[in-house]
Amino acid sequence: MGLYERYLAFRIRRRVGDPPEHVALVITERDLLEQGAYETLVDFFEWAFEYARQVTVYVSVLDTAAVPTLRRQLEELETPRDVAVRGPDDRDRADAPIRIGIGLGGKHEFTSAVRTLAEGVAAGELEPGEIDDEDVERHLVFPSEPDLVIKTGAERLSDFMIWQSVYSELYFTDVNWRDFRERDFLRAVLEFCTRSRRFGR
């Protein structure tokens, strides 16, 4: 850790607000094609677990044919915690400390959860009027709500965890993934610590 990174870490420790317990990162398949992209991702996990207990990564994909290759490469990473990787065809929950979605958009995930609930109603296992938020969340692939969502490269939202991130703090950086460094992550955490979270109120 360099001098500037130590300074940022010191400021984070001195802030009144707590650092995020769940950090989410949004990158693209193109980002992972850059040289050193996977090494940066492993570094990101190391940085994040200095503060957080859980990390979720969403890789947006334009070419679904790339999903199997990306999945294999991500599952083979040497990471500081266990990893659960899910793709567009997966419906089972990801429960590891590191959760990675490849091309699994929020709309698709939410639709899949609703479809599962509808199947339960059709089978007579559920009453439609009794379905609540917790029932929906139980059927999401990524059930936890991130405190901080970091989006690299541009200030625009993506189809990612649309249910879970409704109260998340969003942090956009113009820094592309290939240039993302520890100081960029620490800046995001520091800004999170200075914000007053309202949780929709």
The CATH number fitting domain 17-194, selected from 3.40.250.10, 3.50.50.60, 3.40.50.300, 3.40.1180.10: 3.40.1180.10
Comparison of pLDDT for 14 and 53, the residue scoring more: 53
Extents of the domains making up the chain:
17-194
The number of angstroms, rounded, from the C-alpha of 37 to the middle of its chain's C-alpha atoms is 17
pLDDT digits (tens, 9 = 90+) for 128-166: 888 998 888 888 999 889 999 999 987 666 788 888 888
| Measured distance CA(154)–CA(151) in Å, rounded | 7
Q: Give the DSSP H or E segment for 120.
A: helix 106-122
Global pTM?
0.90
Cα angle, residue 188 at apex, residues 190 and 41 outer, rounded to 5°: 130
